[in-house]
Every structure is written in C-alpha cells, then in structure tokens.
Chains A and B, each alone.
Chain A
Amino acid sequence: MVDFANLHSRARSGFAMAMTLDTPLLQQAEQTAAPASSGRLRRFVRPALGLLLPVGLALGWEIAVRLGWSNGRLVPPPSRVSAEFAELARSGELWRHVVATCLRVAVGFGLGTVVGTLLGAAAGYSTLLRRLIDPSLQGMRAVPSIAWIPLFILWLGIFETSKVALIAVGVFFPIYLGVMGAVMSVDRKIVEVGRTFRLSGPAMIRRILLPAVLPAYVIALRSGLGLGWMFVIAAEFMGASEGLGYLLIDGQQLGKPTEIVAAILAFAVLGKTTDWIVASAAAPFLRWEDRARGAEG
C-alpha cells in the first residue's frame, strides 16, 4: 500500500525528478563510451553533452525565424525571449515576481517539511500512531491538491495565506510518505547494534536512526520541493498581483508569448537551482553511501 502510494507521488513529481535524474544517466553513457580520454577534457565535455539538445533546438529555431520560415509570433525565438528577459530584469519587474514566488515556495516548503517530517517520523516510529493517522492522510492524499483551492480561499482569504497553505499541502505528502517509509525500513540489525551498546532513546535517534534515514529524506525533500514549485503556479493562477504564475497569466491574457516563455524559463532555472542547493547541501553527509553510480552534481 505504502509502496504503491509512494510510486504514485513519485509519478506526480516526475517532472521535477526527471530534471535531476537525466544528468547522471548521460554521464554514465559518456563514461563507458570514452574511458581513456583525458580527465580535464571530460570534465567540460560531460556537462556540455546535456546542453547539446536545448542549445541546438534554440539555435535551429532562431535560424528558422531569421530566414523567415516562421514569423515566430506564437513561438518566440531565443533572441526575443532574452530581450524580454533583459527588459523584465532592467525594469525590476523580474525580481519583484521572482521574489514573490520564491517567498511563497520557501514558506510553504518550510511548513510542509516541518509538519511532514514530524508526522512521518511519528507514524514510522509508532505502529499505533500509524494506524491512527495514516489511513486518513492517505485518503486526503488521494484528493488532487488543487481541489483544496476553493476551500482554502473561503477559509484563509485570497491573499498569501491560502497560497502558502496550498504549497504546504503539496510539499507535505511526499515528505510525510518518504520519512515514514524511511523510518519503517531502518535495518533492525543496525538498531540492535545500538541496543547492544545500550544507547538511550535520544542517542539511538541521533546516532542510528537519523543517519540511516538521511538518504531517503533527501530524496523526499527534493520531490517535495519539486511539488512546491508546481503548486506555486496553481496558487498564483488563482489570483495574484505578482509572482511568476501571475506573469504567465498576464502573458496569456495580453497575448505575449515571450513573457510566458520567459516566466517558464525562470521556473526551470529556479527549480533546478533550488534542487541543486538541497542535493549539494546533503552531499557531504552522504559520502558514505554505497552507490552503483558515481556522485551526481
């Protein structure tokens, strides 16, 4: 039941995960293809491989528009998008929207993480508590989170609180599930080592349980963060005067595809950057992991 549910949530956050999982696959392919080439060259070539496809497509489209094969009105070429970007950045608009969106994600992600971690750990640790709360939470999880929007607006108003609440709900579930699963699957044999050395309850948590669940926790945080970015758009669609989601709606209503593409690009950059921050903040604590694939960026 839990595993299946987990899969489901992974699938929902597949958009966010795909971005992070692609790179090592490519690296792996590269590694087997050219084992003997010089190390320094490879360090530059490997990331460049990932850029090949998007840069190639962008260049191709730019050329197509320049040659007049398309007017590029609905699908703006890179030059126009970057001009739009520059204009938004120059006028300070871009920062206003980015800051608004980031703040919402940060507060929502923080709330969802705290509650998800506490409830997930409690439900994983105590069978009684799991029997009490898990079925209800799983039931709530089956509700598409967007469905909460009308209720949240009625309860919390149309301003920041309802938006943050929606993001927090979206972040909560993958983290709750991830933490609960991780705590439940801590190896009994390792726990026995702690018991043999007579660790007290807090010492057992600090020295055995926390390090044991950390790898799964980082994955849960990353999928939670991915969902946070997804839900911030939904939240901003439901009525906002600033934020990247507002920029999207604005671009649609005023017929400005360049603005839409610029906002989408901003989302991609922000999502990838925050995911990278979480992953690399955790990396020093996970060096011990016995992984089939090498460390990922």
Chain B
Amino acid sequence: MLILDRVGKTYPNGVHALDRFSADIRLGEIVAIIGGSGCGKSTLLRAVAGLDRATAGSIVLDDIKITAPHEKIGIIFQEPRLLPWLSVADNIGFGLMGLPTELRREKVARALKRVGLTDKADAWPRELSGGQAQRVAIARALVPQPEVLLLDEPFSALDAFTRRDLQDHLLDLWADTRPTLVLVTHDVDEAVVLADRVIVMRPRPGRKFEEIVINLARPRDRNSPLFDNFKRRVLTALDRSLDRSVPDADAKSTAGEAMWW
C-alpha cells in the first residue's frame, strides 16, 4: 500500500508546484496521473521516487516513510537513460550488483528474453532503436522486482506504433509480478488503456482535480464504444481542469492519439 498524504512541494525559488495531493494506492493497482503542463505530475513522481523531497505531507510505503530512493520503488523516465558505457545486459543488471554473478546473469538473461532482446545482450545502447532502448530501461527497472514502479511519461518520445506496442508489453510484464504502477502521462489513450484509475490534475498550483475509475476488463479493446466513453470522460475532466469550455467531443477523441501537451 502506497499512501500519499497531503503531499506538497514548494521549490526554493518560491514556485508552488504541488499542493496537498492525497491518494491511497493498493498493491498491484495501476494509477495514471494526467494533466496539462505545470500541474505537478512529475514533481509528485520524483517525490515518490525519493529523488526530490516533498516540502509538506508524507509518502508512506508499507509503513516506511519515503524521503530517499528506496529499493522497493523503481522508476522509468521519459528517456531510457541507459549507461552508454555498459552493454545492454550490463545495463539491465545495473541494479543487481549486490547479487552473486551467477544469479545476476541468470536474472538478466531471463529479463532479456522477456523483453525480446536476447540477441542484443552484448550490443551498446547506441545501437538500439528508441523503442528497444526503452524496453531495456523497463527491464532494468523491473529486474530488482520493485513493489512500486513509477513511470514518468515513459513512451512520449516514441512513435505511435512503438508506443502502442510498448503499452501492451508493459501490461504483459506487469502481469508477471503485479507491482503497483504509477504512470504520469499526457496521453489520454495511454491512461485509459493502462490504468485502473485515472487521476486528473489541475495546474498552478498542481493539485488533484478528479478521479475516474476505469472498470474495464483487460485486455482492453481500444476501438470499443466503452473505451471511447472513458476517453471522453477523461478529456472532459481535463478540459474542465484547465477552465476551458468543453469542445466538441469528436474533434479530439476521434484522433487515435489524443495527446495532451
């Protein structure tokens, strides 16, 4: 159980980025956090990851207060952030240095197979495509078997086909150990296809605006009317969060990739 209790963040320069954000996230739940720019999504995620400290409230994972990076929490960034001087296999094993070599090799081999990159084990990161690199980043974060995996707009730099592919792949990997996923995104489609619950944020200061529970069975059909219905609800909430009048529903939702910048 990940409990966020009135988490707030004010930067030293006085910018109030996040205001009293609360959420209780169950083990194995997938939560998408969506909102326009400047609504504190990334600030929140970095605080949960322990990379930055919240200036108010508390983040508690299984009775442990999170103030620094924790072994039960993994994170995947928008960029793969692979270490260019390590081979693909060594990148995946980066977080396993405490383990004996044999065990580490075995785990890395299994992860490589799971993300379909066994033939790239000895390649350098520069030799990978964007999608492959992000798959390595996912494997690197998942191999230490975190209880919570944070994803900060993980697929936003990829093309539409690769993005879809990786979203499905992520769900597939998630099903193996069922960690908690907290996903920051600006892509409505992505939020609805992945999440059990979508939290819509509003900006200045960033705070929670609305929660939408997506009770659709997986695997989800992106073309079903129900799916469209949820997408429209999230879009409407987003528009209201930005104090805009609600535009024509089809103007945005008919486009397969409703991107929210």
Contacts and interface: CB of A to CB of B under 8 A. Distances in A.
B83 A189 contact: no
Give the bracket for the number of chain B residues in contact with chain A.
Answer: 20 to 34
Contacts of A289: 84
A193 interface: yes
A97 B71 CA distance: 60
Contact of A195 (B69, B79, B94, B97): B69
Contact of B71 (A198, A203, A212, A285): A198
A69 interface: no
Contact of B83 (A190, A196, A285): A190
A208 interface: yes
A192 interface: yes
Interface in A269-297: 285, 287-290
Interface string B21-37: 00000000000000000
Contact of A197 (B68, B94, B125): B94
A211 B87 CA distance: 13
A203 B81 CA distance: 18
Nearest to A193: B81
Contact of A288 (B71, B95, B126): B126
A196 B95 CA distance: 9
B193 interface: no
A190 B81 contact: yes
**Interface magnitude class on chain A:** 10 to 19
A211 B49 contact: no
B85 A189 contact: no
Nearest to B141: A196
B79 A196 contact: no
A282 B68 CA distance: 36
A287 to B, nearest CB: 8
Interface in B69-115: 69-71, 74-75, 77, 79, 81, 83-86, 94-95, 97
B104 to A, nearest CB: 13
Contacts of A190: 81, 83
A208 B86 CA distance: 10
Contacts of A212: 85
Contacts of B75: 196
Contacts of B74: 196
Interface in B108-148: 124-126, 144
Nearest to B77: A189
B69 A198 contact: yes
A275 to B, nearest CB: 23
B150 to A, nearest CB: 9
Interface string A176-189: 00000000000001
Interface of B: 49, 51, 68-71, 74-75, 77, 79, 81, 83-86, 94-95, 97, 124-126, 144
- Which 7 pairs between the two chains have the least Cβ-Cβ distance? A290-B126, A211-B85, A197-B95, A288-B85, A288-B124, A193-B81, A196-B69
Interface of A: 189-190, 192-193, 195-198, 203, 207-208, 211-212, 214, 285, 287-290
30 contacts: A190-B83, A192-B51, A192-B77, A192-B81, A193-B81, A193-B83, A193-B94, A195-B51, A195-B69, A196-B51, A196-B69, A196-B74, A197-B95, A197-B144, A198-B68, A198-B69, A198-B70, A198-B71, A203-B97, A208-B83, A211-B83, A211-B85, A212-B85, A214-B85, A285-B85, A287-B124, A288-B86, A288-B124, A289-B84, A290-B124
Given A193-B83, A288-B85, 8 more contacts: A189-B79, A193-B94, A196-B75, A197-B69, A197-B94, A197-B144, A198-B69, A288-B126
